[in-house]
Amino acid sequence: MFADGSINTITSTTHPDLFWALRGGGNNFGIVTRFDLKAFPQGQIWGGRIFYLLDKLKPVLQALTDINVALPSDPFATLYIAYVYSQSNDGFVIVPELIYGKPVASPPIFKNFSDITNVGNTFRTANLSEQIAGTNRGYNFRQTTWTATFKNDAVFLERILAIWEEEIAPLKKIDGWVPAAIFQPLSKSLLEKSVNSPFDITPADGPLIRRSLFKSDGIFTNRTVFNQALQWTNSADDTRVYAAARNTINRATIEAKAKGLDFKWIYQNVSEIRSSKYHYTDTFS
């Protein structure tokens, strides 16, 4: 819906400029009431979660940064890593979720993860809906997500997690507390499916964790997007939770700038309200 109240169907041929701008323009150009997608048959895929204890954090983060480079060699592979606090155990667990777009068990692209000693996994061949069953974090909880983008560096990823642990430590006993820190790579091969981006992202810019490589001063360098996904029960704890999330982002950004590892782009799907000096994308980009 346009500002004049008219209803319009926007396509790459009817309104090419607006269609381009909407892919990342948020709600700046009108109200989106419907969108149409092309569907395709997926079939069976392989994947699941693999669980590591904390002493495996360094090799897991190294495996993540290594696969960030290797993903274009196998476009069927994707993953994310969740670093999750368990209230019942008062501790953290490392949980990568590995997904392969074919019914091929233990594909070589994930060898760096399978070589690390783990405490179990949920790997299986199934359809997509079966694979994601159980990933919902539940209902009737309060939730917020905060994100920032940094260069892809395993040592700094570990430092981000250390900052995050310090900030959420005072919240351990609040009701329904389920915090997770997440890193996710999106490869060059995925970027090839999204051309003419309004954010000047092309396949040549890839890869990135959670998005892509970004061009800075003519040099293409890896970037990492860090996402905090926080869940709790009572509104009385909102202020403390938001403060911890905000402090984590601020502290990590300050340290990243000092090390030359910062980047101002933010993935809007999981970003909390922020200053206008940052770049955003949106659900439809």
pLDDT tens digits along 196-208: 666 655 555 555 5
pLDDT tens-digit readout, 244-272: 999 999 999 999 999 988 876 666 666 66
Does 207 sit behind a cis peptide bond, omega within 30 degrees of 0 on the bond before it?
Answer: yes
- Cβ–Cβ under 8 Å, residues 47 and 100: yes
Q: Which residue is associated with the tokens 């997500």?
A: 145
pTM of this structure: 0.81
Pair of tokens at residue 10: 């926007």
What confidence tens digit (pLDDT) does each residue in 113-150 have? 999 999 999 999 999 888 888 666 666 789 888 888 78
CATH number belonging to domain 52-57+68-96+137-270: 3.40.462
Average pLDDT over residues 168-175: 96
Beta-bridge partner residues of 100:
46, 77
Contact (CB, 8 A) for 230 and 143: yes
**Token digits of residue 201:** 């992202």
User: Mean of the pLDDT values across residues 146-173?
Assistant: 91
| pLDDT number for residue 217 | 31
Which helix (H) or strand (E) segment is 19 a member of? helix 16-22
Say what the pLDDT of residue 84 is: 94
CB 119 within 8 A of CB 221: no
Segment holding 222, helix H or strand E: none
CB 100 within 8 A of CB 107: yes
Question: What is the reported pLDDT for 262?
Answer: 80
In sequence order, the 6+-apart residues with CB closer than 8 A to the CB of 254 are none
Instruction: Identify which of 152, 168, 5 has the alpha carbon closest to the alpha carbon of residue 83.
Output: 168
Structure tokens at 162: 């250390």
SS3 state at 58? helix
| Dihedral sign from CA coordinates of 87, 273, 243, 156 | positive
Q: What is the mean pLDDT of residues 168-176?
A: 95
Residue range(s) occupied by CATH 3.40.462 in the chain: 52-57+68-96+137-270
CA proximity to 148, closest of 27, 237, 238, 247: 247
Q: Tens digit of pLDDT for each residue in 10-56? A: 998 999 888 888 876 666 788 888 888 888 888 999 999 999 999 99
Rounded Cα distance, 26 and 56, in Å? 39
Residue 9 burial class via C-beta count within 10 angstroms: exposed 0-12, middle 13-18, buried 19 and up: exposed
